[in-house]
A and B are shown apart, each in its own frame.
Chain A
Amino acid sequence: MDEFWRAILTAASMIWEFDAGLWEIIGLSLRVSLTATLIAALIGLPLGALIALGRFPGRRLLIVIFNALMGLPPVVVGLIVYLLLSRAGPFGVFNLLFTPTAMVIAQIILVLPIIISLSREILETLWGEYQEALRSLGAAPGQALVILLWDGRAMLITALLAGFGRAVAEVGAVMIVGGNIDHVTRVMTTSITLEASKGNLSMALGLGIVLLVLSFAISIGAHGFRHISNVRQPV
């Protein structure tokens, strides 16, 4: 019990004193996960919209597949990306394995199905409601899409935050493709794993606290955003 409190105290003081090692790790974590979420959003939102509004053969199947992929196990994604990027793999020539880029790629794959599925769901529901009115008003397809994205923005941003939450909290994929190399690919989750296994509980706990605070901040941010836009336009 004593050790537990000592760990917490050390953790708090590390955060308080802006321990350089700690912040380097936090910085890389945020950079990797934010980049992955952003790229996944750029790919996922248009795809989600396409599946939501489009009518083409295989659409149902795509929906089922992306829904299933939301639960992809990170270690499996890590393994697949590892194989693709390894020397012998098809993308081996790019030498990306054990770099932050590899971690971004793995997290994009993890986050993409979440963003596609959630945005599809959101836009499909909204479209069902707006369709007749927009068609009656003579909106062109492009105009209709802009209106849907705008009116669904609060919900869509929540979807992006869900994607970011998954990326930043995930350990399996970044561990395999990043390798947890100090100063290069060490992020919060991988170093928590490492420090805990080494018995260095205060470092692990310090990072754990930061991670927890971060995920609270995300959900408070999401809630706040919805609240603000609901006050302006109740659903």
Chain B
Amino acid sequence: MNAPRQILPVTLTKVSLRRGKKMVLKEIDCRFDAVPARTLIIGPNGAGKSLLLRVCHGIVAPDLGQVRWAGETDPRALARSQGMVFQRPVLLRRSTRGNIDLALKIHGLDAAQRRRRVAEALERTGLSRLAGTPARALSFGEQQRLALARAMALRPRVLFLDEPTANLDPAAAHLVEEIVRDMSEAGVKIIMTSHDLNQARRLAQEVIFLHRGRIKERAPADRFFAGPKNDLARAFLNGELLWWRRRSVYDGVGGKSADEMGIDRP
């Protein structure tokens, strides 16, 4: 077994990503360190949160700019030190247990270690009862928990979580928050998105506010929730950032939006 190598800091320099004709991430400069342990990325639908996580995770290459993991530029080199739970869980056509087992097999663990870690991860996420069930027959919330169990079992140094509790019942959401907290206290860097602002308040030590592919504000959680400097972030927290009015409010009615032309707004 190859022990996960240190991969922090994760550094993004002038990262831009194009999807179709649109720039969906624009010149993002940021750096993630071990402290603070839990960073939450928030922002409206379509802001680019999921894509930013993918780029940071190294499974989507930016069109411009560079991502480095502890100085390393090849995403494959440190792929095994990081895990991700996708917004839409992708499970393989195997049993619940088999999904975790396969992931561990990919990482080269022997059978005894795998058995132990599978049992541990299932137990922790409350899925032991469903170990033999085909993963794709699980309910959506169970699938999401399995995706977390799978990522957790790999013992990553950095864990990316994209809306991990979006489909969970309150008890399961609480469970996941607890797991996230425990992992971060054990030294795992957490980079997570959430639409649940209460959850963000509970978990975040640091907040990144993303809007239309740009980081508009990054601040310690207490300061951010006390009152963001950025007016868009403030509107977002107050529930006033209405996406169906964005264009008319910020770009003037009609004409091309600033984003389509790739121009930044003040």
Contact = CB atoms under 8 A, between A and B. Distances in A.
Interface of A: 129-130, 132-133, 135-139, 143, 147, 151, 232-235
B106 A137 contact: yes
Interface stretch (B34-42, B80-88, B197-205): B80-88
Tell me which of B92, B95, B102, B134 has the highest count of chain A C-beta atoms within 10 A of its own C-beta: B92
B90 interface: yes
A139 B84 CA distance: 14
A135 B57 CA distance: 10
Contacts of B10: none
Contact of B90 (A130, A143, A232): A130
Given A135-B59, A147-B102, A130 B136 contact: no
A137 B94 contact: no
A135 B90 contact: no
A234 B103 CA distance: 20
Interface residues of B, number: 25
B229 interface: no
A49 B258 CA distance: 43
B93 A133 contact: no
B59 A147 contact: no
B92 A130 contact: yes
Contacts of A138: 76, 79-80, 106-107
Contacts, number: 48
Contacts of B80: 138
B59 A136 contact: yes
Contacts of B86: 132-133, 136
Given A136-B83, A138-B79, A138-B80, A233 B103 contact: no
Contacts of A233: 93-95, 134-136
A133 B92 contact: yes
A130 B93 CA distance: 10
B93 A151 contact: yes
B242 interface: no
Contacts of B95: 233
B132 to A, nearest CB: 10
Q: Is the interface of A mostly helix, strand, loop or mixed?
A: helix
Interface string B36-71: 000000000000000000100101000000000000
Given A147-B102, A151-B93, A232-B134, 7 more contacts: A133-B91, A137-B103, A147-B92, A233-B94, A233-B135, A233-B136, A234-B134
Among all A-B residue pairs, the 8 with the closest Cβ atoms: A138-B79, A133-B90, A138-B80, A233-B93, A151-B93, A233-B134, A135-B59, A136-B84
Tell me which of A135, A138, A143 has the highest count of chain B C-beta atoms within 10 A of its own C-beta: A138
A19 B93 CA distance: 47
A60 B102 CA distance: 32
B12 to A, nearest CB: 18
Contacts of A151: 92-94
B154 interface: yes
A139 B106 contact: yes
Contacts of A143: 106
Tell me which of A129, A130, A136, A143 has the highest count of chain B C-beta atoms within 10 A of its own C-beta: A136
A130 B107 CA distance: 17
Nearest to A135: B59
A115 B84 CA distance: 35
Contacts of B136: 233-235
B137 interface: yes
Contacts of B83: 136
Nearest to A126: B93
A158 to B, nearest CB: 15
Contacts of B103: 137
Nearest to B137: A234
B59 A132 contact: yes
Interface string B126-167: 000000001111000000000000100010000000000000
A32 B228 CA distance: 76
Contacts of B137: 234
8 contacts: A133-B90, A136-B84, A136-B86, A137-B103, A137-B106, A137-B154, A138-B106, A147-B92
Nearest to B78: A138
Nearest to A133: B90
A95 B83 CA distance: 60
